[in-house]
Amino acid sequence: MTVLVSGWVAIDDIETPFAKVERSLGGSATCAALAAALFSEVRLLAVVGEDFPAEMRARLDRPGIDLRGLQTIQGGKTSRWGARYHYDLNTRDTWYPELGVSVAHLPPLPPEWADTTAACLGAGDPKYQRELMHGLSAPRVTLVDTIKMFIEEAPEELRETMRHADFVTVNESEARQLAQTPSIARAARAMLAGGARGVVIKLGEYGAAFASNGDYFVAPGYPLEEVIDPTGAGDAFAGGFIGYLDTVAVVTPAEVRKAIIYGSTTASFTVEGFGPSRLLTLTRPEVEKRYREFRALTHFEAGE
């Protein structure tokens, strides 16, 4: 059981209403890899520049994460991402101090990784996401994430990619934008009608909704008293979700629902620290404990 994680390994500047960190380890693939590694073996496929600090690479160099796919582009700079969060932490302004190597260099799948059983493909060029999926000989579960930029600039390519993946994750505003409707349920249905097979709409602190042609599932957010930094929560969700699914015997609707709760649980830990910092210390028993709490917090009995 192995999960291919692709996306950005980046250096982030993050400012919340309460604190600020500069030049810290970040990126979609970083968070997704650390989350998936709680459940399965991870193969990380990403690029960094020559400036990528050895100390940051060392933090990713841990049992369960294969870093042979983390390539250094000679003469290149590591991508950088900046975010400033508003008071309620649900909205943010983002910018790119350095677009870096992650945009121009899309590393191909190493041939020896064709036997990878699962894929968690961070937001990126939808055509590239498709190439990676095609490179896998018999994947059991595949997930693609996307962002506004690709919805706007490559809608047809994105639709084609969604048809090839088992799951696509979008946040609420992206779902509304993709489907041109304010209703989350209708947006999910529109994405299914467009050929997506499993749609996860991430609702931030409000949880997540999932739709496939056979199932609809809604989960509230895990209630947190303190959110330090929402960065990476969506990526940790995707990593936890696919990491868990990679370990199940058969991917049933019930397992997908569990995977959503595992993803939400992993994400809930992520926001307790800046960037991926909490994920670096998180353990599977902690995840299981919170999963049980999640269940207790949401249980209600049958009606009349």
| Least distance in angstroms from the C-beta of 186 to a second copy | 5
Choose the stretch contacting a second copy; rule: CB under 8 A; options: 60-68, 91-99, 123-131, 220-228. 220-228
Does residue number 156 form part of the binding site for a second copy (CB under 8 A)? Answer: no
Interface segment toward a second copy; rule CB under 8 A; list 127-135, 143-151, 157-165, 224-232: 224-232
Q: How far is the CB of 219 from a second copy (least distance, A)?
A: 6
Instruction: Say whether residue 137 binds a second copy (CB under 8 A).
Output: no
- Residue pair 5/45 in contact (Cβ under 8 Å)? The answer is yes
Structural tokens at position 11: 């250096």
7-15, 64-72, 109-117, 202-210 -> range binding a second copy (CB under 8 A): 202-210
Question: Which among 72, 6, 68 is positioned nearest to 36, based on CA atoms?
Answer: 6
Binding mask 262-281 for a second copy (x = CB under 8 A): x-------------------
Q: Does 248 bind a second copy (CB under 8 A)?
A: no
Contacts with a second copy, residue ranges (CB under 8 A): 87-89, 176, 182-186, 189, 203, 205-207, 209, 216-227, 254, 257-258, 260-262, 288, 291-292, 295, 297-304
